[in-house]
């Protein structure tokens, strides 16, 4: 078991910031739902805004680490989690950029199954980050991380299924190239979530 005092002394600002970063990761995926479900030209602004907010949070964490004496939790762990969380909305924004560029060609493509995995993954990461604020049972975090690994596994299976269809020969070459790029970016978002979950697990294990 560990406590706030053991992790950050009397400071809880890091919990607030890390949770806010995980919330931005989740918000970016929610924006992705709206983008891919819309039947009109999409805007990149929600993704840019989410990534900018998360970048500010990441910078604030770095500034607070300079000002704050951390006792039990190594500053490298805080920075690692902060950086891992920031990569989620950053990768989602990259997908949105590519999607909007080719929107007319992929507007009828159903991305809902991949994005559902993204929603589950970001929800799970947020739940894991929130476990850092209070006394968390190691097994509880392990269960959440196992769930995250399972989500990644299901996403990998779906990726193989989609690629099998993509390379079946029934799609024009340009569509194959475009969709392969988009599928890989969505898969990378899940990988980013997995990385963040692994950092949380590492922190909890070290301080349990």
Domain limits for position 137: 4-206
Overall number of domains in the chain? 1
Q: How confident is the model at residue 5 (pLDDT cuts 50, 70, 90)?
A: very low
- 136: CATH: 1.20.58.220
Residue 66 is predicted with a pLDDT of 83
Helix axis angle for 173-206 and 138-166, nearest 10°, is 170
Q: How confident is the model at residue 9 (pLDDT cuts 50, 70, 90)?
A: very low
Residues 6+ apart with CB under 8 A from 182: 95, 98, 99, 102, 106, 111
Taking only the tens place, the pLDDT of each residue in 17-42 is: 999 999 999 999 999 999 998 766 78
Q: Which of 16-25, 65-74, 147-156 has the lowest mean pLDDT?
A: 65-74
Taking only the tens place, the pLDDT of each residue in 92-134 is: 999 999 999 999 888 889 999 999 999 999 999 999 999 987 7
Q: Give the DSSP per-residue string, 126-187.
A: HHHHHTTTS---HHHHHHHHHHHHHHHHHHHHHHHHHHHHHTSS-S-HHHHHHHHHHHHHHH
What is this structure's pTM?
Answer: 0.89
Q: Are 121 and 91 in contact (CB under 8 A)?
A: no
């Amino acid at each position: 078991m560990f406590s706030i005092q053991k992790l950050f002394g009397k400071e809880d600002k890091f919990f607030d910031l890390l949770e806010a970063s995980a919330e931005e990761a989740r918000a970016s995926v929610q924006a992705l739902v709206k983008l891919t479900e819309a039947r009109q030209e999409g805007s990149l602004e929600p993704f840019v805004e989410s990534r900018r907010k998360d970048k500010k949070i990441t910078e604030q964490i770095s500034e607070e680490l300079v000002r704050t004496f951390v006792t039990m939790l190594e500053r490298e762990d805080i920075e690692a989690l902060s950086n891992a969380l920031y990569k989620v909305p950053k990768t989602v924004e990259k997908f949105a950029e590519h999607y909007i560029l080719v929107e007319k060609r992929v507007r009828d493509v159903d991305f809902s199954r991949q994005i559902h995995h993204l929603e589950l993954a970001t929800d799970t990461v947020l739940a894991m980050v929130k476990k850092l604020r209070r006394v968390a049972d190691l097994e509880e975090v392990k269960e959440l991380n196992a769930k995250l690994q399972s989500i990644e596994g299901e996403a990998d299976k779906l990726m193989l299924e989609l690629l099998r269809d993509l390379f079946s020969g029934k799609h024009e070459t340009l569509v194959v190239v475009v969709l392969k790029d988009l599928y890989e970016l969505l898969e990378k978002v899940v990988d980013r979530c997995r990385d963040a979950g692994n950092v949380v697990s590492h922190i909890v294990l070290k301080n349990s």
